[in-house]
Amino acid sequence: MLDWAVHVRSYPGAPRGGDAGVVIPSPNGALAVLIDGAGHGLSAYNIAQKARAAIYENPDKEPDALLTLLNDVLKGTPGAAISAARVRNNELSFCGIGNVKASVGLRSLEVKEGIVGVRMRPPRLSKLELPFNAWFLMHTDGVSVPTSIPAGAAATVARSLIESHGSEHDDAAVLALRWRSPTP
């Protein structure tokens, strides 16, 4: 069973923020993307929504191809930091550009420098095992790197990490996802 959640907290006082997450489940996994639109408020929100729309129109693309597409979609905007992953059973394909961090458990994954839509190097796809019950986490730069993962379901984990590690001076978003082991 796939257990996932995205929790977003906008910059204090802003009606909307530029952090957004997308999870599109499939029979054997999911596409998971976390976006941090450049800036704050409505301009960052509009960038994130433009990226989200393109993701929903292309749910079958692999993470590296999706980031390349999003680079074209976001040209002419201030851009975004974006990390994308595809989970298939116990395999994770991942790549990221900018400051949207990712980890399996607490082991950090490589994210390349750059800004999607402005100056993006070609993304490098990493493939690794995602064991049953291991957490795959992504978080924007408004969330400091956690040193532990709270107990509970994905919604609890995402919300707790925002509450304990989220900045009061930036948008903050966490995407938490895991395959729960099948019961015999």
38, β-bridge pairs: none
pLDDT at residue number 19? 94
Between residues 32 and 16, which one has the greater pLDDT? 32
Q: Where do the domains of the chain lie, and which CATH numbers do they carry?
A: 2-179 (3.60.40.10)
pLDDT band at 167 (very low <50, low <70, confident <90, very high): confident
pLDDT at residue number 64? 97
pLDDT band at 147 (very low <50, low <70, confident <90, very high): very high
Query: How far apart (Å, rounded) are the C-alpha atoms in residues 26 and 87?
Result: 9
> Residues 37, 47: contact at Cβ < 8 Å?
yes
Rounded to the nearest integer, the mean pLDDT of the chain is 93
pLDDT at residue number 40? 81
* 69-124 confidence digits (pLDDT tens): 999 999 999 999 999 999 998 899 999 999 999 999 999 999 999 999 998 999 99
Query: How far apart (Å, rounded) are the C-alpha atoms in residues 153 and 142?
Result: 22
